[in-house]
Amino acid sequence: MTQVQAIFDKVLEGRRITPEEGLRLLTEADLLALGQVAQAVRFRRYPEPVVTFVVDTNPNYTNVCVTDCLFCAFYRKPGAPDAYTLSVEKSSRRSSGPSPGERRRFSCKAATIRPFPWTTT
C-alpha cells in the first residue's frame, strides 16, 4: 500500500490527517482520486444533494494605486490617461443585487479602502 493510499484510508475512516500528510496529498496524490475521497467525506458530513458556492466579488471602484506591486497589470498611477475612479453611485450600481434565481448573502470580511484624491468618472 502506498503512503498516499494509507492517508486516503485514514481520511475515509474519519480520522484527521497531519499537516505532513496533507502536504503529501497535495504533492503526490492523483487529483481525481483525491477528489473522490473529498466527495466521500463531503457526503458523509453533508448527505443532502445540495451544493452552494461563494461568489467572491472585488468591487474595483478605482484602478489608481501607488503601491507598485511588480506582478500587477491592473493599477494605474494617479493622473494616467486610463486611470479611473467611480463615483459612489456608479460603484453601487456595479455591485447591485443578485441575478434572477440567485440567492446571495452579503458580507465583508476584509476591505482595502483607498482614498479618493482623484477625479471620479
Query: Is residue 33 a contact point for ligand SF4 (CB under 6 A)?
Result: no
Query: Is residue 83 a contact point for ligand SF4 (CB under 6 A)?
Result: no
Query: Is residue 34 a contact point for ligand SF4 (CB under 6 A)?
Result: no
Query: Is residue 84 a contact point for ligand SF4 (CB under 6 A)?
Result: no
The site for ligand SF4, by CB under 6 A, has a size of: 7
Query: Is residue 78 a contact point for ligand SF4 (CB under 6 A)?
Result: no
Buried-exposed string 60-96: b where 16+ CB fall within 10 A, e elsewhere: ebbbbbeeeeeeeeebeeeeeeebbbbeeeeeeeeee
Q: Which is nearer to ligand SF4, 103 or 109 (CB)?
A: 109
Query: Is residue 80 a contact point for ligand SF4 (CB under 6 A)?
Result: no
Q: Which long-range contacts (C-beta less than 8 Å, at least 24 apart) are formed by 115-118?
A: 116/62, 116/85, 117/78, 118/62, 118/64, 118/78, 118/79, 118/83, 118/85
What is the secondary structure of 60-88 as a DSSP string? -SB-B-SS--TT-SS-B-TT-TT--B--H
Q: Which stretch binds ligand SF4 (CB under 6 A): 14-22, 48-56, 63-71, 82-90?
A: 63-71
Query: Is residue 17 a contact point for ligand SF4 (CB under 6 A)?
Result: no
Binding region for ligand SF4 (CB under 6 A): 65, 67-69, 72, 74-75
